[in-house]
Amino acid sequence: MSEFLQNAWYVAGWTHELDQNRTLARTIADYPLVFYRAAGEAVVCLLDRCPHRFAPLSMGRIEGDDLRCGYHGLRFGPDGVCRENPHGGMSKALRVRAFPVIERHRLLWVWTGEPDLADSAHIPELPFIDRAPEASFISGYVPTAANYLLMVDNILDLTHADYLHPESLGGGSMTRSTASIESMPRDSLRVTWIANDEPPLPIMRMNFPEPGARIDMWTEVQWWPSGVMTLITGGTPAGQPRSAGMNVQAVHIMTPATQSSTHYFYSNTRSFATDNVAVTENIAKALRFAFEQQDKPMIEGQQARIGSADLLSLHPALQRSDGPSTRARRILTRLVTEEADKPPQNRESASAATANP
Amino acid sequence: MSEFLQNAWYVAGWTHELDQNRTLARTIADYPLVFYRAAGEAVVCLLDRCPHRFAPLSMGRIEGDDLRCGYHGLRFGPDGVCRENPHGGMSKALRVRAFPVIERHRLLWVWTGEPDLADSAHIPELPFIDRAPEASFISGYVPTAANYLLMVDNILDLTHADYLHPESLGGGSMTRSTASIESMPRDSLRVTWIANDEPPLPIMRMNFPEPGARIDMWTEVQWWPSGVMTLITGGTPAGQPRSAGMNVQAVHIMTPATQSSTHYFYSNTRSFATDNVAVTENIAKALRFAFEQQDKPMIEGQQARIGSADLLSLHPALQRSDGPSTRARRILTRLVTEEADKPPQNRESASAATANP
Amino acid sequence: MSEFLQNAWYVAGWTHELDQNRTLARTIADYPLVFYRAAGEAVVCLLDRCPHRFAPLSMGRIEGDDLRCGYHGLRFGPDGVCRENPHGGMSKALRVRAFPVIERHRLLWVWTGEPDLADSAHIPELPFIDRAPEASFISGYVPTAANYLLMVDNILDLTHADYLHPESLGGGSMTRSTASIESMPRDSLRVTWIANDEPPLPIMRMNFPEPGARIDMWTEVQWWPSGVMTLITGGTPAGQPRSAGMNVQAVHIMTPATQSSTHYFYSNTRSFATDNVAVTENIAKALRFAFEQQDKPMIEGQQARIGSADLLSLHPALQRSDGPSTRARRILTRLVTEEADKPPQNRESASAATANP
């Protein structure tokens, strides 16, 4: 898979990463992009390359709703059209590509495909982020030197937690479960793992402190083709209804930067101790360790051994637990192929977009 | 433009960079070169690669007029001919290419082309460097990760000062000026900007301290194809003759190291307060900030977005202010093409020169 | 020379580098390898790439004789066969290549070729390492960014010591000697330098402290195609039998990591002051300086100037002192060509080995 899906809402960052009066430069699916907050509060996303001489617009100045290039002073509006050219008249060439961008669920979403198809109704619904009290909301960003699909695979095969995170997120129960996969709307997949009558995961022991406690656990991951995943996991005393137990609601978002680098955004909130900041800090610490010190080096090591080859071309000895990730990759391949086969009228590829019109 | 002009005097460094008894290794136009000062005071320049086993001669020892390889002890004279071979007889192969090199105007000039054509009369005249009192002479070196032509463009379009250096070198007057361009001898160009009845530039305010002062300003850049540029700028109370005002004399020299890296040498001297070291230090600080913290990151960012493509192939939306740089690039393309079309008898390309004869 | 000899015992490390309960990851001749000590004390070497999803096995856990992948928990035995698959049944694909590995002479030896040909009798004999008292044994490891043949050349032309290490290992006597070369069994070479009636080398002055001392010196290097070299050097008062003098026994082992990086292992022991730790520390310090601060930067600089070209294709002006290294390179080229011409039945190339069967 060498091309990225174009018609997709990619997550470009947490909204709190976007300071007033400061641009944010981030490469998404090979597009160098600049984000800023206009005077009217709306977020703007432009190709981060002045059409005059290709200076990074992110090194420029926000002026009201506009962004002025810091090199020779051309000023561009939120639509990418030049509003002021200190050096002469206007022309069609004095335009930088603007990308549809939306703030929702505390995240920045950017659409890299045909603007006409950018329907914000297609953004995955993440209501638990909006509902989360500040005191129990955790979010993080882990830039990783690996292809984003290896990062997606990591979440779609949660058995890895039993071996890579045994002291926090794993305990063997994922391996003992079988994943069931359902097709969902918008080429999404839902994967469910059920593990009944198990000891609680280490990170759940505060919820089930009695020695020898046994619980029923459920874990549900929903994946969307843009690399967005929700992960809901919970536990309840064995035999009890879920409402008698606890659960955690998380996102794991793997946005491609380039073919060999990924923006990994995660969040975590929960059904218990929602105003207990000490609990939040403990969980945040455990997650940061698991994602930064365990997942990241393992997947970067995996990427180093794969090199620039396509994973499947190397004939991995796939297991039953690879079912969800294999199915997700197949969907993505189909979607990318469909985009390539039916080039829409005004579709621009990443390389075309980085040249001027 | 993928090849460098060969028949040119490139600036390789400031003479004060060349310590007695220490070699200086510097890549110029893709040639790895070693410079040293012979016992007789003359500067020597050799290809920095022993013909025996390609060790860097710059890691060797200066012995009188000669340079001895630090690996196996072959000794080479200033003409590149082996003077002593501890391991056997002499042969034609025991010779390293020597490059014509001259010290002039406090700079080291090296000729990468046909030795027979190396006429030191073709070195640009920079008399203001020779005349400058030590107390008011500033010089600097900024290695930059960008193609040298982007660095040349930066000086040939001084409107950038209005946006990139507004607190020191810019004030809007360059943008309000129009550049006039003249052809000069030796494929040189002179660009003149006139801006009358303007507020003084921030860096000139010590010269025109009265509130609301208005001055007439002139700026003159001369460019030579080897990347050498002089920049003379001055101001005088509006309507007064130039002799009633002040001026500054500078060089901005952009020597290609490789296609993606440049040796940027600059100097600055002036007509006022020439024995005031405190003024010199203030100006030096402002220039260092402008060139190292503003120009360098902007142009490196520009280079990163251009990648290995030729600038013009990307169809930049050129403005009137790009006139001088466009014309300079055109001259250079013609000169490089002429060299390629008429290969002289003893012309060696960079790659041939790095192989042994 | 673009391929490595396959049927060879390469040195992968010092045995003391292999901690109990810790894996050692090292790339040898382009193979990413993992070494560990099984519960039964034997050393195991596997390709460092899980066949499931290519995670580095070196990031896993040693369990008894086996190694468990740290990502999804597959467990492999010392033969590379999967012993436990938490995710399903066994299959032929669940196998990682195992490499013959032996501990001998305090070193780890790994065989990258056909397992059937791995005869430990072909490992060079280094009895002086086994005999060396701890108090006078020095060993070191210098990873170097250069092709291993440049590193081999360095030892096969010891005249370099006269110029690169004049304050320790050189004094001009190697240059005044002539090397004699003998063919030895197993495509090995022996090179002998004799220098009579010479001042002692700086590092030998403690052995011959009298002013104006003159000694007879001998140096003998034996080279094997896998990059292993022994170096025995000694001195005796001029005209006296060797038994009246001193000698030093060393190895210089240059194991290819990749085409542009080398694992350099060295050791040193001696015939005198064998229980004097202060002498050992002085010698260790001098060697570390010579190998890390002099050889390594010189050869890395040489590699930088050679780039990715083959040394001989650049027509170095070879000298008499290059005789041994030229002859060694010729032997190696013949051996590699023979391997390529007669591909054995079960021969796997490095690239084939890194794919799954």
pLDDT in tens, C130-187: 999 999 999 999 999 999 999 999 999 999 999 999 999 998 999 999 889 999 999 9
The Cβ of residue B285 has, within 10 Å, a number of other Cβ atoms equal to 12
Nearest to C305 among B56, B70, B88 (CB): B56
Q: How confident is the model at residue A356 (pLDDT cuts 50, 70, 90)?
A: very low
pLDDT at A179: 87
Task: List all residues 6 or more positions away from A50 whose beta carbon is below 8 Å from its beta carbon.
Answer: A56, A57, A60, A69, A71, A72, A74, A96
Tell me: pLDDT of A252 over 60: yes
Domain assignment of residue C2, yes or no = no
pLDDT in tens, A109-121: 999 999 999 999 9
pLDDT at C350: 44
Mean pLDDT on C342-352: 52
- Strand A215-223 relative to strand A188-198: parallel, antiparallel, unpaired? antiparallel
Say if residue B296 is in the same domain as residue B227.
yes
Query: CA-CA distance, B146 to B304, in Å (whole number)?
Result: 8
pLDDT at C342: 80
Nearest to C86 among A164, A175, A305 (CB): A175
Closest-CA distance of chain A to residue C38, Å: 20
Say if residue B145 is in the same domain as residue B97.
no
Query: CA-CA distance, B6 to C254, in Å (whole number)?
Result: 41
Tell me: pLDDT of B345 over 80: no
Q: Name subunits touching B (3+ CB pairs < 8 A).
A: A, C
Say if residue B316 is in the same domain as residue B184.
yes
Tell me: pLDDT of C98 over 60: yes
Closest-CA distance of chain C to residue A254, Å: 19
Query: Does the CB of A273 have a partner CB in chain B at under 8 Å?
Result: no
Q: Classify residue A116 as exposed, middle or buried by CB count within 10 Å of its CB (0-12, 13-18, 19+).
A: exposed
Query: CA-CA distance, B334 to B5, in Å (whole number)?
Result: 10
Mean pLDDT on A247-264: 98
Q: Give the CA dihedral C306, C310, C316, C318, nearest 10 degrees.
A: 130
Query: Does the CB of B326 have a partner CB in chain A at under 8 Å?
Result: no
pLDDT at B355: 39
Say if residue B112 is in the same domain as residue B188.
no
Nearest to C317 among B52, B59, B354 (CB): B52
Say if residue A117 is in the same domain as residue A175.
no
pLDDT at A342: 80
pLDDT in tens, A184-242: 999 999 999 999 999 999 999 999 999 999 999 999 999 999 999 999 999 999 999 99
C163 and B56: CB-CB below 8 Å?
A: no
Three-point CA angle B78, B81, B85, nearest 5°: 115
Query: Does the CB of C162 have a partner CB in chain B at under 8 Å?
Result: yes
Contact C202, C234 (CB under 8 A): no
Query: Does the CB of B48 have a partner CB in chain C at under 8 Å?
Result: yes
C55 and A321: CB-CB below 8 Å?
A: no
B56 and C153: CB-CB below 8 Å?
A: no
Total-model pTM: 0.93
Q: How confident is the model at residue A20 (pLDDT cuts 50, 70, 90)?
A: confident
Mean pLDDT on B72-76: 98
Domain assignment of residue C158, yes or no = yes
Domain assignment of residue A225, yes or no = yes
Query: Does the CB of A320 have a partner CB in chain C at under 8 Å?
Result: yes
Tell me: pLDDT of C345 over 90: no
3-state secondary structure chain A: CCCCCCCCEEEEEEHHHCCCCCCEEEEECCEEEEEEECCCCCEEEEECCCCCCCCCHHHCEEECCEEECCCCCCEECCCCEEEECCCCCCCCCCECCECCEEEECCEEEEECCCHHHCCHHHCCCCHHHHHCCHHHCEEEEEEECCCHHHHHHHHHCCCHHHHHCCCCCCCCHHHHCCEEEEEECCCEEEEEEEEEEECCCHHHCCCCCCCCCCEEEEEEEEECCCCEEEEEEEEEECCCCHHHCEEEEEEEEEEEEECCEEEEEEEEEECCCCCCHHHHHHHHHHHHHHHHHHHHHHHHHHHHHHCCCCHHHHCCCCCHHHHHHHHHHHHHHHHHHHHHHCCCCCCCCHHHHHCCC
B208-241 burial, b if ≥16 CB within 10 A, otherwise e?
beeeebebbbbbbbbbbbbbbbbbebbbbbeeee
Q: Which residues of C fall within a CB distance of 8 Å from A153?
A: 53
Please tell me which residue of chain B has the smallest CA distance to C157.
B72
Question: Residue A326 belongs to a domain with what CATH number?
Answer: 3.90.380.10
Say if residue A118 is in the same domain as residue A146.
no
Query: CA-CA distance, A43 to B37, in Å (whole number)?
Result: 59
Q: Which two tokens stand for residue B274?
A: 């020439």
Query: Does the CB of A166 have a partner CB in chain C at under 8 Å?
Result: no
Computed from CA positions of residues C181, C183, C189, C192, in that sequence, does the dihedral angle turn out positive or negative? Answer: negative
Q: Which residues of C fall within a CB distance of 8 Å from B356?
A: 314-317
pLDDT at B12: 98
* ipTM of the complex as predicted: 0.93
Contact B178, B217 (CB under 8 A): no
Q: How many domains does chain B have?
A: 2
Q: Which two tokens stand for residue A104?
A: 């929702």
pLDDT at B356: 38
pLDDT in tens, C226-268: 999 999 999 999 999 999 999 999 999 999 999 999 999 999 9
B301 and A59: CB-CB below 8 Å?
A: yes
Query: Does the CB of A85 have a partner CB in chain C at under 8 Å?
Result: no
Mean pLDDT on C113-130: 97
Q: Which residues of B fall within a CB distance of 8 Å from C322?
A: 53
Query: CA-CA distance, A150 to C72, in Å (whole number)?
Result: 14
Q: Packing angle between helix A148-156 and helix A323-341, nearest 10 degrees?
A: 140
Task: List all residues 6 or more positions away from B19 whose beta carbon is below 8 Å from its beta carbon.
Answer: B37
Q: How confident is the model at residue C343 (pLDDT cuts 50, 70, 90)?
A: low
Say if residue A169 is in the same domain as residue A198.
yes
Q: Residue C323: give the domain boundaries.
A: 127-339
Helices (H), C94-200: 127-131, 148-156, 160-164, 173-176
Tell me: pLDDT of C213 over 60: yes
B162 and A71: CB-CB below 8 Å?
A: no
Contact B179, B321 (CB under 8 A): yes
Query: Does the CB of A300 have a partner CB in chain C at under 8 Å?
Result: no
Q: Which two tokens stand for residue A216?
A: 């029923």
Q: Which residues pair with C81 in a beta bridge?
A: C95
Nearest to A175 among C69, C71, C73 (CB): C73
Domain assignment of residue C347, yes or no = no
Of the candidates B93, B122, B151, which is a domain's last residue?
B122
Average pLDDT across chain A, whole number:
94
Task: List all residues 6 or more positions away from C145 whose beta carbon is below 8 Å from its beta carbon.
Answer: C260, C261, C300, C303
Say if residue B39 is in the same domain as residue B16.
yes
Mean pLDDT on B259-279: 97
C72 and A157: CB-CB below 8 Å?
A: yes
Mean pLDDT on B315-319: 95
Domain assignment of residue A354, yes or no = no
Say if residue A64 is in the same domain as residue A152.
no
Amino acid at B54: F
Which of helix, strand or coil describes residue B352?
helix
Closest-CA distance of chain B to residue A148, Å: 23
Of the candidates A88, A122, A156, which is a domain's last residue?
A122
Domain assignment of residue B349, yes or no = no
Contact C16, C24 (CB under 8 A): no
- Which range (A74-83, A214-223, B85-94, C66-75) has the least confidence? B85-94
Question: Residue A77 belongs to a domain with what CATH number?
Answer: 2.102.10.10
Tell me: pLDDT of A346 over 90: no
pLDDT at A1: 43
> C21, C76, C50, C66: which is closest to A301 by C-alpha?
C50
Say if residue C110 is in the same domain as residue C251.
no
Please tell me which residue of chain A has the smallest CA distance to B313.
A355
Closest-CA distance of chain A to residue C67, Å: 13
Query: CA-CA distance, A141 to A143, in Å (whole number)?
Result: 6
Say if residue A103 is in the same domain as residue A216.
no
Of the candidates C107, C122, C137, which is a domain's last residue?
C122
Which of helix, strand or coil describes residue C128?
helix
Query: CA-CA distance, A238 to A212, in Å (whole number)?
Result: 12
Query: Does the CB of C308 have a partner CB in chain B at under 8 Å?
Result: no
Tell me: pLDDT of B344 over 80: no
Give, as one character, the DSSP assignment of residue C331: H
pLDDT in tens, B187-220: 999 999 999 999 999 999 999 999 999 999 999 9
Mean pLDDT on A313-330: 96
Q: How confident is the model at residue C349 (pLDDT cuts 50, 70, 90)?
A: very low
pLDDT at C351: 44
Say if residue C36 is in the same domain as residue C86.
yes
Amino acid at C259: Q
> C254, C222, C183: which is closest to C8 by C-alpha?
C254
CA distances from C127 to B121, C43, C135, C326 (A): 69, 21, 17, 28
pLDDT in tens, C47-58: 999 999 999 999
Domain assignment of residue C3, yes or no = no
Tell me: pLDDT of C192 over 80: yes
Domain assignment of residue A3, yes or no = no
B163 and A70: CB-CB below 8 Å?
A: yes
First to last CA, chain C: 27
Q: Which residues of C fall within a CB distance of 8 Å from A301?
A: 55-56, 59
Closest-CA distance of chain C to residue A4, Å: 22
Query: CA-CA distance, C41 to C18, in Å (whole number)?
Result: 11
Tell me: pLDDT of C352 over 80: no
B162 and A73: CB-CB below 8 Å?
A: yes
Q: Which residues of A fall within a CB distance of 8 Å from C356?
A: 314-317
Contact A264, A254 (CB under 8 A): yes
